[in-house]
Structure 1
């Protein structure tokens, strides 16, 4: 990298503060400037992390930025992405691009004639296990794939106020599984069947959401996949992917901290604590993701996850929501625009 960059960070909530901490230690980053809807929170984060705080987003855009990281509420993403791109500032934005398909399409249309990169945050693409699974599939060592089993189970639900604005279990949580299935296989999902249930807090049903779901997917090469999603996995944070082929398999997330309990006689549990949440499970992946963005912003690396990639995962989530409501198989093409 030829020169150190000045990176702006919009939003210093949980994920934003973690990104600020990561940026502080990344080679190639000289200065981090932060802004937040709460100026006092921005100032506190900047003081703790050795960054520079500015009072609002206008002041952030007035700074000479080489890149912008967006970790604000979803409804602000489209405006911040397009504003940065129009100013020639490379962007990293946490998923989603927008709250719905039309908003995502509007952003993509806005970017059509721009060469400014916009990287969307799907951190599993940078996890060593998922990368190894992708390499194994691409090498042919597994033979032909017949089954994929993906799991994302939270140990406890988010706050009620989050659920109401999250977009629902498929768009908020399952979208990570949908993206990674596309990425590790190199194939598209063409059909879904999704069902969900509520046995936990009433606020899920009040928001029109579910706290547990199972999805069946068919890929364009007839590989079948299942995705299990849940908010009440008391044993711990459980994120895995099983890729099963005609000659072998590759399992992601099956380590000493996987919250699995065997009841087979003679089985000795690992003794290691389960991951408490996504930040701990994917800490290294988040670091590598931001390191990639720094290289993208410096013009040294092609964009590893574009808004178009995010849209494809969003289409699958949208098809799942339609399937759940109408109790039928849904072709992903039904929700494309």
Structure 2
């Protein structure tokens, strides 16, 4: 980490990636250990397929590779990047949010809007000190997402 980042109190964020298939290349946007003010590092990757785990190991040899989402969520990552197949975005993201882990999903979780309501009206309390953000592009409740 750079001296400038240390002097203003910024620490390197630990990022987990869930799914290492078609959209796996997005990890490059989350893995920025040399960024002067906002450093982050992909430290753990979860994929159910043997091929995905092998590809992840080649791309990020220092990251821990697993097929267990619970292990990734318990590892202490600050945030997860969800790049699973589309039909798995919602359950993975909700499980991470319930664990108090911030989530980035690169597209809406569900459609039509009535099925997206659970992401906009959370019934859990995030862990102290955690952050979470959602974007419900197809959700008519989007004004409530920030609450």
Q: TM-score, normalised by structure 1?
A: 0.33
Measured after TM superposition, the shift of residue 117 of structure 1 is: 1.9
Computed over aligned residues only, the root mean square deviation of the Cα atoms, in angstroms, reads 2.6
State how far apart, in whole Å, the 2-side matches of 1:57 and 1:112 are.
19
Structure 1 residue aligned with 2:145: none
Structure 2 residue aligned with 1:91: 103
- 1:50-93 deviations in Å (ceiling 9; x for gaps): 33311222222221110011111222222222211111111101
Cα distance change, pair 35–99 in 1 and its aligned pair in 2 (3 A): farther
Structure 1 residue aligned with 2:40: 29
Correspondence 1:200-219 to 2 at 5 A = none
Bigger share in helix? 1
State how far apart, in whole Å, the 1-side matches of 2:116 and 2:31 are.
31
Measured after TM superposition, the shift of residue 99 of structure 1 is: 4.0
Secondary structure class of the residue paired with 1:118: coil
Contact 1:82–1:111 (Cα < 8 Å) also in 2: no
State how far apart, in whole Å, the 2-side matches of 1:45 and 1:69 are.
14
Secondary structure class of the residue paired with 1:78: helix
Correspondence 1:232-247 to 2 at 5 A = none
- Among 35, 44, 49, the residue aligned to 2:60: 49
Give unmatched runs, 5+ long, in structure 1: 120-305, 315-337
State how far apart, in whole Å, the 2-side matches of 1:56 and 1:12 are.
13
Q: Does 1:40 align with 2:47?
A: no
- 1:89-127 deviations in Å (ceiling 9; x for gaps): 1110121222432221122122686573224xxxxxxxx
Secondary structure class of the residue paired with 2:139: helix
Number of aligned residue pairs: 125
- 1:13-48 deviations in Å (ceiling 9; x for gaps): 121x21123333353113431111213322322322
Give unmatched runs, 5+ long, in structure 2: 143-147
Structure 2 residue aligned with 1:10: 18
Bigger share in strand? 1
Q: Does 1:311 align with 2:139?
A: yes
Bigger CA radius of gyration: 1
